[in-house]
Amino acid sequence: MIYINKDFCKGCVLCVKFCPKNVLKMSDEINKKGYYLVKIENSSNCVVCGMCELICPDQAIAVRK
């Protein structure tokens, strides 16, 4: 499972670019700080590698089995 903290996400796109399975995608949703958010697009493709959690500079993503 991938959890995205919408309050912490700044839409930097790093998680989208580094996901080896293209699970994440930018959305049209904006958080209360005015940043576009990441969304989970293909959760069934996730291999729980944790790359998105590791690369996120704002600790907005958590990956759990």
**Residue 65 vs residue 53, higher pLDDT:** 53
pLDDT band per the 50, 70, 90 thresholds, residue 65? confident
CA 54-12-3 angle, to 5 degrees, is 50
Contact between 38 and 64 under an 8 Å Cβ cutoff? The reply is no
As a whole number of angstroms, the distance between CA 15 and CA 19 comes to: 6
CA 40 to chain CA centroid, Å, is 7
Q: For the chain, what percent of residues have pLDDT higher than 70?
A: 100
The pLDDT tens digits of the residues spanning 11-37 come to 999 999 999 999 999 999 999 999 999
| Residue at token pair 């995205």 | 4
pLDDT value at position 3? 96
Q: Which domains does the chain have, with CATH numbers?
A: 2-63 (3.30.70.20)
State pTM to two decimals: 0.89
